[in-house]
Amino acid sequence: MTAIEDLLALHMVDKQTRGIRSRVENAQLYLDAQERQLAELDAERSDLEHRSKLAQATVANLETEAGSVDERTNKLREELKNSSTTKQYNAILEEINNLKESKGQLDDRALSELEAAEGLTAKIAGVEERIAERTKVRDAARIELDERTAEVADQLSVLEAERALKASVVSEETLAIFDQAADDFDGDSMAPLEEIDRRRLEYACSCCNFSLPFNLVNTIMADGNVVEVCQECLRILYATEELRGALVKK
C-alpha cells in the first residue's frame, strides 16, 4: 500500500473512533452543563439565604430596640403622673412624644425588613423548585452517560486497537500532521482534490476550496507516497480513484 492508502485506511478508522467517542463526550458535556447550572442555582440560593438571615437579624434588632423604647415610655408615663412642676411635666411629655416618633420609625423599618425577608423566602422557595427540577435532569444525564459509556466500551476498544495498528505504519511526521488536522476539523483530516476546469488545469481543495497549483496536483496524482497538505486548511490532499480514472481517459 502507498502512504496515501495507509492514511486513507487510518482516516476511515479514525472517523469511526471519533464518532463513537463523540457519543460519550456529548453525553459528558451535557452532564457537565447540568452540574454547572446546579452549582449556579446553589450559589443563588446561598446568597438569598444569607440576605434573608441578615434581614431577619435586622428585624430582631429593631424589635429589641422598639421594646426598649416602650419600656422607657412606660417609665416616663409613671414619672409624668408624679411630676411636681409644669416644667418637669412638659419635659417628660416632650420626651414621650419623641419616643413615640422613634417607635413609629422603628416599626416602619421593621415592617419593611420583614417584608423583604418574606420576599427572599419566596425567592428561595422558587430557587429550590428549580434545583429539584434541574437535579432530576442532572440525574437523568448521569444515567445516560453511564449507559452510553457501557454501550460503546467494547466497540471503542476494538476500534482503538485497529486505529493504533493503522497508525503504526505511518511515519511520525505524517501522523502528527494527520492528527492535528483531525483534531482541528473533527476527524476530517484528509481532503480529496476537486476538479474545477480540466481544460484550464484548475483544481482546488474540496474542503476549503483553496485553489491548488497544477504542479502540486500533478505530483499528488503521480506518486501515492507523496504526502502534501493544503496550504490553506492543512488537510492532507489526495486524488480519488474517480479523478484518476477521468484523467487517464483524457
Q: Tell whether 123 and 221 lie within a shared domain.
A: no
pLDDT at residue 100, rounded to an integer: 92
Residue 248 has pLDDT above 60, yes or no: no
Q: Tell whether 82 and 137 lie within a shared domain.
A: yes
Mean model confidence pLDDT for the chain: 93
* Residue finishing a domain among 167, 183, 206: 167
Residue 228 has pLDDT above 70, yes or no: yes
Residue with cell 416632650: 94
Phi, psi of 60 (to 5 degrees): -60, -45
Q: Tell whether 160 and 213 lie within a shared domain.
A: no
Alpha carbon distances (Å) from 180 to 10, 21, 161, 174, 175: 14, 17, 20, 10, 8
- Rounded to whole angstroms, how far apart are CA atoms 49 and 68? 29
pLDDT tier at 247, thresholds 50, 70, 90: low
pLDDT tier at 21, thresholds 50, 70, 90: very high
Q: Which of 38-42, 86-90, 224-228 has the highest mean pLDDT?
A: 38-42
Q: Tell whether 90 and 156 lie within a shared domain.
A: yes
Q: Which strand ranges, in their side-by-side order, compose the sheet holding 202-205?
A: 211-212, 202-205, 190-197, 236-238
Domain housing 196: 173-249
* Residue finishing a domain among 133, 167, 201: 167
pLDDT at residue 80, rounded to an integer: 85
Say what percent of the chain tops pLDDT 70: 98
CATH of the domain at 12: 1.10.287.1490
Mean pLDDT for 196-224 is: 92
Say what percent of the chain tops pLDDT 90: 84
* Residue finishing a domain among 149, 167, 185: 167
Please tell me whether the overall predicted TM-score, pTM, comes out greater than 0.85 for this model. no
pLDDT at residue 152, rounded to an integer: 93
- Helix H, strand E, coil C: the string for the chain is CCHHHHHHHHHHHHHHHHHHHHHHHHHHHHHHHHHHHHHHHHHHHHHHHHHHHHHHHHHHHHHHHHHHHHHHHHHHHHHHHCCCCHHHHHHHHHHHHHHHHHHHHHHHHHHHHHHHHHHHHHHHHHHHHHHHHHHHHHHHHHHHHHHHHHHHHHHHHHHHHHHHHHHCCCCHHHHHHHHHHHHHCCCCCEEEEEEEECCCCEEEECCCCCEECHHHHHHHHHCCCCCCECCCCCCEEECCHHHHHHHHHC
pLDDT at residue 1, rounded to an integer: 85
Mean pLDDT for 21-40 is: 96
pLDDT digits (tens, 9 = 90+) for 143-185: 999 999 999 999 999 999 999 999 999 999 999 999 999 999 9
pLDDT at residue 246, rounded to an integer: 63
Neighbours of 55 (CB within 10 A): 20
Q: How many domains does the chain have?
A: 2
Which of 215, 219, 220, 221 has the alpha carbon at shortest distance from 201? 215
| b (16+ CB within 10 A) / e for 73-96 | beebeeebeeeeeeeeeeebeeeb
